[in-house]
Amino acid sequence: MNQPAIQSAITQPATLDAMCAALLEAKARAEQARRQVLDIEEAITQAVGTKDEGSFSVDCDGFKVTTTQPVTRSVNKELALDVMKKLPADLAHSIFDWKPSLNVRVFKDLQRYQPAHYATITPAVTSKPGKVAVKVQEVAQ
């Protein structure tokens, strides 16, 4: 499908088939662009360098380039509880954040099988719908 056909599928009343074809073609172009961006970012990172963690900047003709190396850290809950026993109480409680999380399966089961408990819990839970996913697959004719 060429560019005018894609534009037509987007701007004019179109058949579902035309919209699906336009979506698949746009996703293919986006994937190609994403790969190209990643390749260029890798080349820039090799040219500029980076710190073990945090940001590093350099200036060149007309551009300031910043590479940022994030570090993700996770905590093993069982080991953390054991380690906390070995630390002074003030340090133990300040080094780890304890955040509640929702077991969605149990939450949904409560709604269905124990509505009184569900009603008790719902004020503490905010539910927001996410972005609708659209999946289009070509099928053999």
33/24 Cα distance (integer angstroms): 14
Which amino acid, one-letter code, is at 73?
A: R
Residues 136, 21: Cα–Cα separation, whole Å: 9
Does pTM top 0.75 for this prediction? no
- Ramachandran assignment for 49, one of left (phi > 0), alpha (psi -120 to 50 degrees), beta (any other): left
Does the pLDDT value for residue 11 go beyond 90?
Answer: no
Residue spans of the domains in the chain: they are: 3-69, 77-124
- Angle at alpha carbon of residue 36, lines to 51 and 135, rounded to 5°: 110
pLDDT(40) > 70: yes
Tens digits of per-residue pLDDT, 74-99?
889 889 989 999 999 899 888 988 88
Please answer whether residues 138 and 130 qualify as being in contact, where contact means their C-beta atoms are separated by less than 8 angstroms: no
Q: Using alpha carbons, list the distances in angstroms from residue 23 to 74, 94, 133, 140.
A: 37, 49, 12, 18
| H helix runs in the chain, sequence order | 3-11, 16-48, 77-84, 89-95, 104-113, 115-121
